[in-house]
């Protein structure tokens, strides 16, 4: 069985602070994929990034960066110099080699960025 744990239920920061959202996963698959999605107040989940189990290279995209570590089964997400528009619920998700549509989602972390 697959499991995704996002231990941080809610995080509140002041604009321009850096913030890291934690994601820990469990799977018995040797091939798997990890995702981060953002759900703004409008409700529509937006895909942010995908990582496969064979690629532990960290990635940076603007103010966003992701740290994937198989040794600790973690896929953490850092927002640098946070902005009010970053306020949203962030979900980490896990899928196996097939059937991306059956992804297992964490419970989400609600990030509030205050001006």
Partner 1 sequence: KAGVTQTPRYLIKTRGQQVTLSCSPISGHRSVSWYQQTPGQGLQFLFEYFSETQRNKGNFPGRFSGRQFSNSRSEMNVSTLELGDSALYLCASSLDLAGGNEQYFGPGTRLTVT
Residues making contact with partner 1 (CB under 8 A)? 31-33, 35, 37, 42-47, 50, 52, 91, 95-108
Tokens of 14: 């002041």
2 versus 67: smaller Cβ distance to partner 1 = 2
Q: Smallest gap, in angstroms, from Cβ of residue 71 to partner 1?
A: 22
Q: Smallest gap, in angstroms, from Cβ of residue 110 to partner 1?
A: 11
Q: Smallest gap, in angstroms, from Cβ of residue 73 to partner 1?
A: 17
- Beta carbons within 8 Å of 99's beta carbon, 6+ residues apart: none
Q: How far apart are CA 17 and CA 100, in angstroms?
A: 33
- Beta carbons within 8 Å of 101's beta carbon, 6+ residues apart: none
Q: Smallest gap, in angstroms, from Cβ of residue 15 to partner 1?
A: 27
25 versus 82: smaller Cβ distance to partner 1 = 25
15 versus 107: smaller Cβ distance to partner 1 = 107
Residue listed under structure tokens 């995209």: 61
- Beta carbons within 8 Å of 76's beta carbon, 6+ residues apart: 20, 21, 22, 23, 66, 67
């Amino acid at each position: 069985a697959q499991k995704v744990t996002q231990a941080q239920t809610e995080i509140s920061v002041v604009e321009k602070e850096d913030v890291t959202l934690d994601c820990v996963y469990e799977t018995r698959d040797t091939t798997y994929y990890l995702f981060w999605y953002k759900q703004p107040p409008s409700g529509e989940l937006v895909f942010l990034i995908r990582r496969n189990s064979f690629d532990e290279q960290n990635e940076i995209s603007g103010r966003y960066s992701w740290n994937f570590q198989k040794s600790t089964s973690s896929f953490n997400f850092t927002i640098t110099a946070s902005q009010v528009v970053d306020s949203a619920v962030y979900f980490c998700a896990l899928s196996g080699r097939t059937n991306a549509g059956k992804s297992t989602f964490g419970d989400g972390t609600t990030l509030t960025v205050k001006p």
